[in-house]
Amino acid sequence: MINIRKTKVFLACIVMVTFSFLLSTSSVNDAYASQNSDQKPFSWDNATVYFAITDRFNDGNRGNNDSYGRPQKDAWGQNIGTFHGGDLQGLTDKLNEGYFTDLGINTIWISAPYEQIHGWVGGGSDGDFAHYAYHGYYALDYTTVDQNMGTVEEMREFVNTAHEQGIRVVLDVVMNHPGYNTIKDMNEYGFGNPGVSEDWTPGEGQTWHDVHNHIHYDDASPWSTWWGPWVRAGIGGYESCGNSETTMCLAGLPDFRTELTHSVGLPPLLETKWSQERREGYEDWIVPTASDLRRDLDIAPADYIVQWLAAWVEEFGIDGFRIDTAKHVELFRWQQLKDAANEALWSWREENPDAPGASWTDDFWMVGEVWGHGVGRSEYFDYGFDSIINFTFQGEHGNGPAYRLDTMEDTFSHYANQINMDASFNVLSYLSQHDTHLYPRERLVDGGTYLMLLPGGVKLFYGDETARPFGPTGSDPQQGTRSSMNWDSVHEDVLSHWQKMGQFRNNHLAIGAGAHKQIGTNPYTFSRTYVEDGVDDRVVVTVGATGETTIDVSSVFSDGQTVRDFYTGDSTVVENGKATFAAHQNGVILVETEGETIPSVSASPQGGEFSSEELEVTLSVLQAESGAYTIDGSDPKEKGTPFADGEVLTIGSDLAIDESLTLRLFAKNEAGEAEAEYTFTKVPPYPHVFADPPGGSFSGDSLEVTLHVQNVGEGAYSVNGAAEQSFMDGDAITIGEGTEAGEEVTLQLKAENEFGSTEEMYTFIKSPGLTAYFKNPDTWGTPHIYYYETEPKVEEPSWGSAPEMELVENGWYKYTIEGAESARVLFKDAGANQWPGPGEEGFYRDQDGWFDGEWHSEKPVQANDITIYYKTSWTNPHIHYSLNQEAWTTLPGVPLNSSEYEGYAKITIETEEGSQLRAAFNNGRGQWDNNQGRDYVFHSGINTLADGVIVRGTP
């Protein structure tokens, strides 16, 4: 069950109660570092990824700092865009110091280590600094290690050292473009017509951009010895840049023609370069597995790049790629790269069986940068991607939930519901990013807590854990996010907090990969549980703890169990389902069991009613060799039947209608005992009918609806009151043909058997078009919507004529693109604001939706609203209520709507902060549920009322 609640919290005060993969020494850092990393369960779903811009992280070998003549300060004395000296040796040194294990890191993402362009381009909009390729996004040669980064052997040592500590290695890679032309490279490799020597620098009154005034870009002949037909560049002799995402020259960079499927030979630039490198002296940097790929292979340009990148995997055992500018390359190329890299990884493991990490069994991992992507499954996951970077946590404009701490529960519930209920995708969320913003330095304790508790994968941008300050930035606001690591001014309190939070996350798969459930409100408390693949990991987190704090841990721990605070080393014993701790001054308590983990037993399904003749129940026992069960209510400890984990028990054949049986489970190990009890009741096999989809709007000429009938051979359906027709379970019908936009189609389903009859009615509305709702930011003017690539094609606006959206309520605006079933949309105002940002692709939409930084299929519940899920069998339930002790609604009250949960009706009532709602329920015909005359009381957030009990969150 995923419970969702919005609440205001203070992240500096946190209590966490955990269960599984436990430490047994009093020193947190020492205990963590002493663990055998190979034995720690790993899942990419719980990845904690440290992104280090290698050049800016740590200088371990000063001897490579001036490679290719790259200075650490440009001719104007600035180091905004120069190489600073960080290298692979520096990363290895920090691994050996235990820096990453102390942070709980299980994956390191580093800048592209292959050779970059040697020279500079003008930096920033004003050309006020020299911009070198320190970040790894301006490729020159994929077959060699960039000498500023280190050597082949230093690369191998870094990967092996990381693997020895259980840490995966991910490389940043680019397939969309190589680097710019620079006068350094033009003079060195003899391409283009630079017009000046490589030593040119701007004079008085000039900027670094003025170098282009000397370069002859229209002179086709000398440019033929650059990349040739491999790229489109819009200069003499080259194909012009296109207008689509895959053919545009992003930021003026030459665009690899990745769509080509035939050979166009080698790039002349690389032929020249490789010819120069045939003499001795380059073997320290040429990747051995790529050495045989430095020749004409008679394949297309993208095929070369795929093979070159896969060579890094096969040579070093690289575990994953972070794909830059993913949407600017054809999707099939990403699947090709994934397949090649995965094959290369398994080849490396076979060829190097004794190497650290060779025994790992996870496939190659790929995460992509798709600008503006949020928490949702997209087409990229069908083409090799395991994860996509989540831009919506930070928010493209710094307006994501990371800054709104009162949305913590909403964010956790939403992410867990989206990510951990669908194994086919994941996201990688971040606080700070090299091409957006740094998270406020004064809020990094709170931010670190929020990030490290997120479901899904998370990315720690280097220096967030040390409060690395924003650096010199010039006229490019993103350069300052990439300042050198502040080793001489580490904020120790911030670092200590991130270390404990990171270790806690890395110890518990449940944090990133588990199911989320809210279990308390004051202080805010939730659990995460992960029971899968032989792993039983359970976590309880309380936020807002001060002083002595008592927590209800009954859903995780057993009475008598000794638990210990990971944060302070204090221990306590669970009594009456409660654990009490003295919170650290940061308010953080991280509790784990001492010694061996007690066993756990469970059954699936977990009791309830069934109408079939027999029912299969799967039994589970973890942390014990076997368990025992009884089905007659007797004590399984005394005379239970043994069972193994995963054993299937068949029950019910000897039960009469309305009879019940009790399944009791028991298991024991040295740490303690576990028991569980489930009641199953056989009920009459009443007929049941339902449609998929269950009503709603649709676009297009028609809609296919699948009909279901259970406990009887066939049912009957009628469309718009027409004559009934029979159907069998799983039959599909087509409705809506000839229906005009805005018209309704009604579908009635019926079924009958010896135990009774049933009837369901569904209403479908043909959409008049595609509707987008937009939550307008406070700093915007009235929003407009720009749309294109409509399907079917309708009249599309120009950028300047983008239509104004209509105000609906509370800052929400809407617009319907009449006649369209799908389109790409961007939101803008009359000023400079737009979402997605300039140069970015519009959101693809093929269904109505609400956008507030993330897309929702229905209007998102606001923090102050009261949402109620009411469990009922009534066909027409109503709620009769009084808000804040004001007048009651007129009887019988307000009808509830059907919900996404079977057996529950739903309503959302808009309220102000601190509101209280007193309510009773009825069936519209005089039958009441009023809590035995006491009424029910609800507060802001999401509430579920079932069987007279209110709990926070969804069913």
* Confidence (pLDDT) at 673: 86
Ramachandran angles phi, psi of 440, nearest 5°: -50, 125
* Token representation of residue 846: 């093929």
* Confidence (pLDDT) at 110: 98
pLDDT band at 32; cut points 50, 70, 90: very low
In degrees, rounded to 5, the angle at the alpha carbon of residue 387 between the alpha carbons of residues 383 and 391 is 115
Instruction: Decide: 174 and 159 in contact? Cβ < 8 Å.
Output: no
- Cβ count within 10 A of residue 586: 18
Is the pLDDT assigned to residue 628 strictly greater than 50? yes
pLDDT band at 256; cut points 50, 70, 90: very high
Is the pLDDT assigned to residue 494 strictly greater than 60? yes
pLDDT band at 862; cut points 50, 70, 90: low
* Confidence (pLDDT) at 863: 61
What region, left, alpha or beta, does residue 592 occupy, with left being phi > 0 and alpha being psi -120 to 50 degrees?
Answer: beta
Average pLDDT over residues 416-442: 92
Instruction: Decide: 305 and 175 in contact? Cβ < 8 Å.
Output: yes
For 774-868, where are the alpha helices, taking DSSP H only?
A: none
Is the pLDDT assigned to residue 512 strictly greater than 90? yes
* Token representation of residue 620: 């589970």
DSSP 109-159: EE---EEE-SS-EEETTTT-EEE--TTS-SEEEEEEE-TTT--HHHHHHHH
Crossing angle for the helix pair 88-96 and 152-164, to the nearest 10 degrees? 30
d(Cα 568, Cα 15) in Å, to the nearest integer?
A: 12
In terms of average pLDDT, the best of 59-63, 810-814, 842-846 is 59-63
pLDDT band at 5; cut points 50, 70, 90: very low
Is the pLDDT assigned to residue 178 strictly greater than 80? yes
pLDDT band at 539; cut points 50, 70, 90: confident
What are the tens digits of pLDDT across the range 61-79?
Answer: 999 999 999 999 999 999 9
Task: Based on the residue annotation, tell me whether 324 is a catalytic residue of this protein.
Answer: yes
- Cβ count within 10 A of residue 433: 19
pLDDT band at 85; cut points 50, 70, 90: very high
Of the CA atoms within 13 Å of residue 91, those in its CB half-sphere come to 29
d(Cα 523, Cα 638) in Å, to the nearest integer?
A: 41
Please pick, among 324, 396, 565, 592, the residue that the annotation labels catalytic: 324
Instruction: Decide: 850 and 775 in contact? Cβ < 8 Å.
Output: yes
* Confidence (pLDDT) at 386: 97
DSSP 860-883: PPPTT-EEEEEE---SS-EEEEEE
* Confidence (pLDDT) at 62: 97
CATH homologous superfamily of 770-856 equals Immunoglobulins (2.60.40.10)
Lowest-pLDDT range of 152-156, 210-214, 536-540, 639-643: 536-540
Average pLDDT over residues 667-690: 89
* Residues whose CB falls within 8 Å of the CB of residue 851, separated by 6 or more in sequence, listed in order: 772, 773, 774, 775, 827, 843
Lowest-pLDDT range of 320-324, 477-481, 641-645, 816-820: 816-820
In terms of average pLDDT, the best of 299-313, 438-452, 668-682, 792-806 is 299-313
* Token representation of residue 900: 């996404």
d(Cα 826, Cα 789) in Å, to the nearest integer?
A: 12
pLDDT band at 23; cut points 50, 70, 90: very low
Is the pLDDT assigned to residue 606 strictly greater than 80? yes
Q: Helix and strand tally (H, E) in the chain?
A: 15, 58
Is the pLDDT assigned to residue 27 strictly greater than 50? no
Task: Based on the residue annotation, tell me whether 789 is a catalytic residue of this protein.
Answer: no
Is the pLDDT assigned to residue 719 strictly greater than 90? yes
Average pLDDT over residues 361-376: 94
| Topology of domain 600-682, CATH | Immunoglobulin-like (2.60.40)
pLDDT band at 111; cut points 50, 70, 90: very high
For the chain, give the percent of residues with pLDDT over 90. 62
Where, residue-wise, is CATH 2.60.40.10 in the chain? 770-856, 866-952
Select the CATH number that applies to the domain covering 866-952 from these four: 2.60.40.10, 3.30.1330.40, 1.10.10.10, 3.40.190.10: 2.60.40.10
Please pick, among 45, 369, 848, 929, the residue that the annotation labels catalytic: 369
Instruction: Decide: 35 and 102 in contact? Cβ < 8 Å.
Output: no
The mean of the pLDDT values for the chain is 89
| Topology of domain 43-179+286-513, CATH | TIM Barrel (3.20.20)
pLDDT band at 236; cut points 50, 70, 90: very high
The reply to whether omega before 356 is within 30° of 0 (cis) is: no
Name the strand (E) or helix (H) holding 601.
strand 600-604
pTM beyond 0.75: the answer is no
Is the pLDDT assigned to residue 323 strictly greater than 90? yes
Higher pLDDT, 888 or 251: 251
By CB atoms closer than 10 A (0-12, 13-18, 19+), residue 342 is middle
Is the pLDDT assigned to residue 4 strictly greater than 90? no
Where, residue-wise, is CATH 3.20.20.80 in the chain? 43-179+286-513
